[in-house]
Chains A and B, each alone.
Chain A
Amino acid sequence: MVASTSKYKYIVCDPELCIGCQLCEYICSYTKTGEFNTYRSRIRTVRVDEVLITAVACRTCENAPCVIACTRDALTQDSETGIIHIDPQKCDGCAWCIEACDFGAISINHHTKLAEFCNQCEDVEEGPQCVKICPKDALEYTTPDQRSQRTRRKLIKSSLEFPSKTKDPR
């Protein structure tokens, strides 16, 4: 998989924790549209071979390929947050942005035929609602830097064998 080069925050899913319940998609579609409809969610779960499960939302790439690919200059990237904004007047649903996205994080609204992006709930005070509802804390609102620090810590912890401490008390 192509790695994100983002310095910006984005929503990431830990496939080991994700159980595929799709509650993130419900809350997302409700937040954005007032209806529950996973076709309108900007975060999407995916499951193959029964046990491979994760959720994907916009990774706020630097020099975002979707923005570059857009033939109608409908997409702009916020230089502060990295969030992709779409001008619905300009977008014609041609889907070049979808072709350009390495993560499959963009979707087309079935009814308006326009592209839709995760905007990290920037207009909601509590921040990303999907992260809030995720029952298994599989979703994290983070940056690549935080991710790598966490991975290092996890790695070193797992290489130390203290059986009594590695398992949660049951």
Chain B
Amino acid sequence: MHGYSGNILHIDLTNRSHWTEDKPEEWYKLYIGGVSMATRLCWENIEVGCDPYSQGNPICFANGIFAGTPVPVGGKYGLASKSPLTGMIGDSLSGSWFSIALKRAQWDGVVIHGGSENWIHIFIDDNRVEFLPADKLLGLGTFETEEEIREMFGDDQIRSATIGPAGEKMVRFANVTNDGRQAGRTGHGAVWASKKIKAVSVRGTYGITVADPETLLQMSFDITESSQGPHTEKYRIYGTSTNVLNMNKLGLLPTRNFQEGVFEFAELISGEYLDEHHKVKVIACAQCPIACEQMSMVKKGPFAGAMTGIEYECLQAVSSNCGIDDMTAAIQLVDIADKSGMDAMSMGVSISFAMECYERGVLKKEDFKCEAAPDGIELNFGNGEGAVILARMIRDREGIGAILAEGTRIASSMLDEERGTETWKWAMHIKGLENPGYDARSLKTFALGLAVGTRGGCHNRSAAYDPDIKGETNRFTIDETRGEVASRSEEYAAVYDTLPLCKFIRRCFTGKADRAGAWPAIANLINATTGWNFDYDDVDSIGVRAHTMKKAFNIREGWKKEDDDLPYRWKNEPMTIGPSAGHVVTDDELDYLKKIYYEAKGWTEEGLIPKKVLIDLGMDDVAEEIGV
């Protein structure tokens, strides 16, 4: 078998043992890699119904099919566990040298079972597994931890995935970091901490062979060349932050905890402003010729020295969404999130939630007392310095930070129970995962995509904002086509998330990002790597199967139709200004959208999956368990 080793590594922390599981080629043809394979491994190894922080929740890595080859943007892995934020599948992706090291160590996937009593650093050295004490690494930031490990072994090709101080403190939206990139969402860092894992390091020394290297190289050369052209210009020059002004113009830029979609100071937090005042360098993920990461630095002022990569989602969450017009505070906030290993998107929405609580009088100045602010903080929207202090309180679980570190869903219910308030009405999450940077009140196809999303409020798994923004669908209204559009959109995204390839390459195959433009080229890449005989339909079914697998996982963990919902605000409180003013997604509209979406999927009215659908996808054992 080319492209795969056929081996999955199982590590049991409780017994300090490990073993190899051989998977047949047919299994790989179904689940490929990335989020699909990671979810499948989680399905096979989880104790059904377990608490996400219990020993029964496994940590599942799945490598990419193209990791370690010259195929551009193919150096990624998927990571899955049951998410402590959503109680459903937590599937993340990261561009990473970690995936390549793992591939060279000849592992297609890794499943970590059980839990450790002491903090531990797992070292996978080709086919050897060592359990090392992590005491010296505790308290170190994410990048520092990796540097320390490289120093410790004296080998800079050892690649590590780590958690930071926020992870150690089990901030519910803590994440996993490698090489400054993150498997960012759904709280993997907290799951790692529940097993007392500080780091997983890999050294892989074997070469990677593919079925048809000449074809693969020629295609890689061509895609690389195309990736330096107009198809990726947006990502290469300003990075995704250029979206700030575009979204603002459309009235979609989350502003002051999603109260409005237009931010009056958008210019000051734009990608263009960032480029002119703060950009230091652009850097790339592993095996990526695009390089979208805009490393940005604060050169003077109270936050001087803060430096990290800035992209749209994290930027909007900590700036316009918090009413903050100070780019230096925004960089500082993302820097705190990145170095302490927490999801800057969830952190930003948690801070904006606290700000609204303050403005509505639920939280008082003295609620924010901490060492850095002994008298508390007047946490109005726009208070950058206050937000920075609060971010550190969340990281350290200091004072009110301990509540906000639980994520907006749990934090709001804790506050409401304690104070008899209704903060849940402005807790901006879906299924417990904080919302991304597109206000969905006037993106009705995307609203559906978010509501039914298997991992909650996520812009990566559903791309349904695309037809809404491009005008292929009328974003302000609904019609009978939207079920199909939302369904196809998430299956499209799932193909990229499963291979995985970064979606920024999607136009570089033929100039067209649609299925007809990309799938034939992707089939050729798969075939040159593995020697298989995939065609357009096979590629398309990768996405269908990946998404179905995630949904099946959720059903088995207790998903109900009511879970496919939107935040109260998006259903009841229209914006007052800008092009999106006056719009909400009503309960009736949402019910109708869900109905036509389940129909488009071929699922039942209750959103359950018929046995036949699963069997047609080759998932007979899944049909056995949850098919109806």
Determine whether B211 belongs to the interface, using a CB cutoff of 8 Å to chain A: no
* Contact between chains at B207 and A133 (CB < 8 Å): no
Contact between B287 and A50 (Cβ–Cβ < 8 Å)? Answer: no
Task: Tell me, yes or no, whether B289 is within 8 Å of chain A by CB.
Answer: yes
Q: Which B residues touch A135, using CB under 8 A?
A: 72, 224-225, 227-228, 289
Which residue of the partner chain A has the closest CB to B208? A36
Instruction: Let me know if A20 and B283 touch, CB within 8 A.
Output: yes
A20 contacts which chain B residues (CB < 8 A)?
A: 283-284
In whole angstroms, what is the CA distance A21 to B289 when docked? 6
Contact of B70 among A23, A48, A110 (CB under 8 A): A23
Interface-side segment among A37-45, A63-71, A88-96: A37-45
How far is the CB of A27 from the nearest CB of chain B, in Å?
A: 6
Cβ of B280: which chain A residues have Cβ within 8 Å of it? 51
Docked pose: A37 CA to B209 CA in angstroms = 9
CA distance A39 to B531 in the complex (A): 25
Q: Is A26 an interface residue (CB 8 A)?
A: yes
Instruction: Find out whether the CB atom of A21 lies under 8 angstroms from the CB atom of B180.
Output: no
Q: Does A100 contact B (CB under 8 A)?
A: no
A46-B156 contact in complex given A34-B213, A37-B104, C-beta closer than 8 Å: yes
Q: Tell me, yes or no, whether A147 is within 8 Å of chain B by CB.
A: no
A29 at interface by CB-CB < 8 Å: yes
Q: How far is the CB of B464 from chain A (nearest CB, A)?
A: 29
CB contacts (< 8 Å) of B157 on chain A: these are: 38-39
A19 to B228, CA, bound (A): 13
Neighbouring A residues of B291 by C-beta, 8 Å = 19, 21, 136
A2 to chain B, nearest CB (A): 20
CB atoms of A133 and B284 under 8 A apart? no
The reply to whether the CB of A151 lies closer than 8 angstroms to some CB of chain B is no
Residues from chain A with Cβ under 8 Å of B227 in the complex:
135
Assess the B100–A38 pair: CB atoms within 8 A: yes
B581 within 8 A of A: no
Asked whether any CB of chain B lies closer than 8 Å to the CB of A16, the reply is: yes
A33 and B207 contacting across the interface, CB-CB below 8 Å: yes
Check A136 against B70 for contact (C-beta < 8 Å).
no
Q: Interface residues of B, CB < 8 Å — how many?
A: 40
| A22, CB-defined interface residue at 8 Å | yes
In the complex, chain A residues 122-139 whose Cβ is within 8 Å of any chain B Cβ: 133, 135-136
A36, B224: Cβ atoms closer than 8 Å: no
A-B contact count (CB 8 A): 91
Given contacts A38-B100, A133-B224, contact A21 B213 (CB under 8 A): no
Indicate if B237 sits at the interface (CB-CB under 8 A): yes
- Nearest B-chain residue to A135, judged by Cβ: B289
Provide the B86-120 mask, 1 if CB < 8 A to any CB of A, else 0.
Answer: 00000000000100100010000000000000000
The answer to whether A51 and B295 have CB atoms under 8 Å apart is yes
B208 touches A37 (CB 8 A): yes
Q: Would you call A35 and B287 a contact (CB within 8 A)?
A: no
Determine if A35 and B208 form an interchain contact, defined as CB atoms under 8 angstroms apart: yes
Distance between B335 CB and nearest chain A CB, rounded to angstroms: 11
B206 part of interface (Cβ distance < 8 Å) = yes
Mask, B251-289, CB within 8 Å of A = 1, is 000000000000000000000000000001111111111
Cross-chain contact B224 with A50 (CB below 8 angstroms): no
Contact of A39 with B69 at beta-carbon distance under 8 Å, contacts A20-B283, A21-B289, A50-B180 already known: no
Question: In the complex the two chains form, is B237's CB within 8 Å of A170's CB?
Answer: yes
Which residues does chain A contribute within 8 Å of B281, judged by CB atoms? 16, 51, 53
- Select A23's contact among B143, B147, B287, beta carbons within 8 Å: B287
Chain B residue contacts of A29, Cβ below 8 A: 207
Q: Which residues of B contact A22 (CB under 8 A)?
A: 97, 286-287
Which A residues are in CB contact (< 8 Å) with B217?
27, 30
Chain A residue, CB-CB nearest to B104? A37
CB within 8 Å for A39 and B70 given contacts A34-B213, A135-B228 = no
B228 contacts across to A, CB distance below 8 A: 135-136
Contact B209 A35 (CB under 8 A): yes
Q: How far, in whole Å, are A30 and B71 apart by their CA atoms in the complex?
A: 13
* Cα of A37 to Cα of B207 in the assembled complex, Å: 5
Hey, what's the 0/1 contact readout for B145-178 against A, CB within 8 Å counting as 1? 0010000000011000000000000000000000
Q: Is B28 an interface residue (CB 8 A)?
A: no
Contact residues, B62-81 vs A (CB, 8 A): 68-70, 72
Instruction: Provide the bound-state CA to CA distance between A136 and B283, in Å.
Output: 11
* CB pair A36 B283 closer than 8 Å: no
Complex Cα–Cα for A152 and B70 (A): 35
Contact of B288 among A21, A53, A110 (CB under 8 A): A21
User: Which residue from B143, B208, B282 sits with its C-beta under 8 Å from A19?
Assistant: B282
In the complex with contacts A35-B208, A37-B206, A133-B221, A23-B283 CB distance below 8 A: no
Within 8 Å by CB of A51, from B225, B237, B283, lies B283
Q: Mark A63-91, 1 if CB is under 8 A from B, else 0.
A: 00000000000000000000000000000
Does A133 contact B282, Cβ atoms closer than 8 Å?
no
Contact status B205-A50, CB under 8 Å: no
Nearest CB of chain B from residue A168's CB, rounded to whole Å: 9
Would you give 27 A-B contacts (Cβ < 8 Å), ordered by A?
Answer: A19-B282, A19-B284, A19-B289, A20-B284, A21-B285, A21-B286, A22-B97, A27-B70, A30-B70, A30-B213, A33-B207, A34-B209, A35-B209, A36-B68, A36-B208, A38-B100, A39-B205, A40-B207, A46-B156, A50-B143, A50-B295, A50-B307, A51-B280, A51-B283, A53-B283, A111-B205, A135-B228
Known: A21-B287, A33-B207, A48-B147. 11 other contacts (CB 8 A): A19-B282, A19-B288, A19-B291, A30-B213, A36-B68, A36-B207, A36-B209, A38-B104, A38-B157, A39-B205, A133-B224
